Structure 1
C-alpha cells in the first residue's frame, strides 16, 4: 500500500480535475478500503484543502473553492503533454516564448526521472508546413484581454482593422481601424487562427472577428446578458461565416473565381488564408493562393463547381493545362503512361 502522503497527493491530483468522485471510485483508484479513503479525504482537509461532500445519487467528493492553493500535481502522461504543449505554444502566440521556456525548465526540474526521459524524447522543433496555410502568431496580451472579458461577461471596446474588408454598411467599413463595442461570448481557434464570436448590440447581430485584426481591447465593465448562440454553436458559426475577417495569404500565386456554391458552404471548407465573398444567395467569389499555378488550379477543382470570372490569366492557363492532363488521364488505359505526365 502506498504511504498516506503519496495517497493524499494522488487523491489531490484526481480532485484537481474538478470531477466529483464517489467514495467507491476513490477507494478503487487508490487501491485501499472505503474507510482508508475517507481518512485520506480527512488528511487533505487537515492540510487546508476544501473537499466538499456531494450528497444524493452519484454523490461523493469534490474539491471546493477557497482553502489552500493546490500544488501542481500531474501524472506522468499529463507532464509529458504539458512539456510538448509548451514547445509549440509560440507557433500561435507571440510574447510567451520566454515564459514558455521558463515554465518548461521549471516543470522539467520537478519531473521524475522516467517522465523527464519521456519528455526529452518528444523534444521537437516546430516548422510549419506550407500546406498548413500558417497565420502570424498572435499577441498573447490581446488574447489575455479578450479572454478575460469573455470570462467576466463584460462588454469590450476594441479597434478592429477593416482594411481590405468589403464594406457592409458600417461607418468606415474597409477603411482601416474602427472602434467597435461588442459583447464577447466565445474564443474559437480554427485553422491555427483565433476568432472572437461576439454580439453587436447596436446592430443586433452576431459577428466573427479575427483577433489578429484587434487592437487596444478594453473591458468597459458593463455586464451583458447571456444570449442564445447561433445555431450549431460558436465553432460551427465561425466555420460557416464568410465575413470572418480572413486575409489572403501571401502565396507566390494567388487568384480568384466565382463558384456556383453558397458562401457559407465554401467558407467551411476553404483553406486557411482564403477569402470568401458572397455574390448572391447561391454563388460566391473565392480567393486563395498556392505555391504554383497548377497547385492553385487543383485547389479550385476540389470544390467540384463550375467556375466563372477566373483571374488572373495565369490561373486560366493553368486550368487549361490541367484540363488536358485530366482528360488524357481519363482516356488512358490502365497502366499506360499519361501524356504530358512526369
Structure 2
C-alpha cells in the first residue's frame, strides 16, 4: 500500500471516530501539514465520501452522510460486532430480504482474518435472542456460501441427508434462499434430476464451489413461494396415506405442478401419490384435488378411514334431502 493511500485511510479512520476535527489537530495527529490534509480530504471526496469543511479558527472537517454508501473502514472490534449481528439476523429472520442479510454476512466474513472469524463463531454461538422460535441449527458459513452462489449464479456441489436418512451428493444451480417456519430452504435447479428441487439447509453439508457460472432461470415471486410452501409440507404428518390414481405420471404432474412432488409411476397408466395432513380432514382435502373423473384407491388407515366415510355419508344424505325452507325475512 502506498504512503498516500495509507495516509488517506488513516484520515478516514479519524474522521469516522469524531463528529468534528479541527484541521490543525488532524495535521498534528497524522504528522503532516494542513495542506496535505486538504489534499487527502479531496482524495476521499473523489472516492465518494462526503466531507464538509468550514474555514476559520473554529473550522475543520466532518464526515457527513452522502447519497451513496462509500467503502467503510472498520476496526477489528467493529467488524466482529457487525458479523455477529448479521449472523443473528440471518439465523433468526429478523429482517426482510434474507438473501441481503446473508450476502452482507458472506462479504464481511470473506475478508475477515482467520482469528477474527474464529472470534465471530465463538461469540455468535453464545448470542441467543429470546422470544424467537429457533429451528434446526444452520451453519452461517453454509448460508453465506449458498447466498453468494445464488447472487453470482455459480453451480455448487453438496452432500444432502434426506429425512429418510439417505445421503446423496447433489449438483445444483442455486436460485434463492428463503426462511419458512423455523427452517431455511434452498431453491435450485438440480442438474442430475433436470428439475427444480428444494432442500432444507440444515441437512446440507460440504458445500463446494465449482467456479462454473450458469445463466439464471427466471421464476416469479409467486412461483418461488409455491416451491417453498410445497417444501414445508414435506414433513411427516400425523395422518398420511397413498393414493393410487388411474392417471399416467406425466399427466398427473401436469395437473398438480409442484404439488405432485413425491409421486411415482405405479405402472404406465397409474400413479402413486403420497398425501397427508394434521388430521383426516386435511388428508381428505388433499385427496379432493385428484382431477374429476379420475378413479383412485387409497390406503388411508383407521380410524381416519371410518371418520372420512361417516362424514361423506352424512354429506350425501344432506345433499339428497330436500333443502331447508328459505329464511323468513326479519328473523
Which of the two has greater helix per residue?
Answer: 2
